[in-house]
Every structure is written in structure tokens, then in C-alpha cells.
Amino acid sequence: MGTVYLLHFSRPFSHACHYLGWGKGDASKRIADHLAGKGSKLTRHVVAAGIGLTLVATWKGDRNFERKLKNRKNSKGFCPICKPELNERSRKAMAKRRAS
């Protein structure tokens, strides 16, 4: 088990606006590598171009879950920056869990 994560680019790089990845455990080292420009080829180029990266979502999951999300080809649909209504849904879900 590990962590699937979504990085949002502050502006598009070529066609890309997001990076969806996976890391072992809580993936904090892997995410830090991306933010420092030492991660995947895409995020290295994004950082080199002066484009900011923001961690916007994480999910517990394995490589198969990462692949399922990537195959949807809809990272924007999982991004609370691109789809602000996701933030409201998340707040409601958290409140419902706390009330239980």
C-alpha cells in the first residue's frame, strides 16, 4: 500500500496541468523530490520552467489504483483548484464522518 497523489501546475506546461503519481508509504519523500525538481521527467521540466507545483490531493492506494486514475485521463476532474466544488463536497463528507 502507498499513496497516490495529484500535483497541480500553477500554469500549463505544454499540454500538462497536473501530475498524478504514486509513492511508498505516505509518499512524502517522493512528493518532496517532485517539488524540488528531482522527481519525474515531467515535473523536472516543469520546475525548470519556473512553474509552481502544489500538492492538491492524496489517496491511499497501490500502483493499480494510480493506473486506474491515470487511465481516466481526467486529472482536472480530481483537482480542487480546477474544480472548486470538490472542496465543498470534501468539507461536507468530512463533517458527515465526524458526526458519525
Higher pLDDT: 89 or 94? It is 89
Provide the 10 A C-beta neighbour count for residue 49. Answer: 11
Non-local (6+) Cβ contacts of 75 within 8 A are 6, 17, 18, 19, 20, 69
> In the chain, where are the structural domains located?
2-99
Predicted TM-score of the model (pTM): 0.82
Please write the tens of the pLDDT for every residue from 15-50.
Answer: 899 999 999 988 889 999 998 989 899 999 999 999
